Amino acid sequence: MKQKIIDIIEQEISEWNRLEEKIPNKDYENFELKDFDYLADYYEKYGQEFELTKFMDFCASRVLEELASSVQRRSIWYWEEFNEDFIIPQFKYLSSLIKSYLYLKDGKEYKVAFIVIRTFIEVSSQFYSCFLDFEFFKKYLSEGIQDEYRNHWFKHLKPEKVLSVLRRMNQDLRKEYKKDGEYTLGDLRAFIYPFESEQREMLYEILTSYAHGKHDVIISNLTRDKMNELNLRITEYIVSSINMLNIASNHFLDNTNCDTRKHVILQQVWHSIKYKN
């Protein structure tokens, strides 16, 4: 498996360079395997132990670290005269959640790790919704005393409400397309996977059983097949959600502190694993 993944990475790097060579740029330097330093960092941490979802989760964690180390050059919804240091703290929090998840899995505390991922799903979904809907963004930033906030959360921010925002924004885009016959390429309202999807719904339901402490879940032992299935579902959500958050935030961040080609290569590697291999 390890050599197969390395082969896929090299294939995607080669394809990336081939496409870049079609764009005239005398300063362009080919991306090489050594530039995908997540691989070397993984070996340094785990030695020769290699497992697909662990590797992808580790790489995704590194992407979040790099995004969290970016500089926010403009505020989200800046045209609405908002000046909020919003994006970087969100990425830092998501990064800490993934690090906690990996730490717990390394310690074989799998059930607790699943609870952390449930939180990651909730926070990442809220984060993405803030890019799509200004009204939701304002509600998300709302503060108040505990009782007031509790009511506010139930009314506007609980997971079902977040999903309804994503569905509504997507439906609004579909109506606009039906009326006008076109929409702006890259309109985020067209891309609500994995935040609102059957994949997310199934995964969240499973993770919620751990978070709510269902007795049969607490006492049960995870079989290898069940663990592998759950790991794949979690990795799919992690990698796909980080990709969309990366795209959504790109307009607002200065990412010159890292080679963002790594982020694209990672997404292509995961896509290749899912659909080509």
Which pLDDT tens digit goes with each residue over 224-272? 999 999 999 999 999 999 999 999 999 899 988 788 999 999 999 999 9
Do 60 and 135 share a domain, yes or no?
A: no
Split into its structural domains, the chain has a count of 2
| pLDDT (average), residues 181-210 | 87
Note whether 249 and 143 are same-domain residues: yes
Domain identity same for 120 and 185: yes
- Verify that 223 and 277 share a domain, yes or no: no
Query: In this structure, are 27 and 93 located in the same domain?
Result: no
- Together in a domain, 215 and 250: yes
Q: Which domain holds residue 242?
A: 71-254
Same-domain status, 64 and 87 = no
| pTM of the shown model | 0.91
Q: Which of 121, 132, 128 is nearest to 171 (CA)?
A: 132
The sign of the dihedral angle between the CA atoms of 151, 157, 163, 168 is: positive
State phi, psi for 38 to the nearest 5 degrees: -60, -35
List the single range of 124-128, 164-168, 170-174 with lowest mean pLDDT: 170-174
| Greater model confidence, 276 or 50 | 50
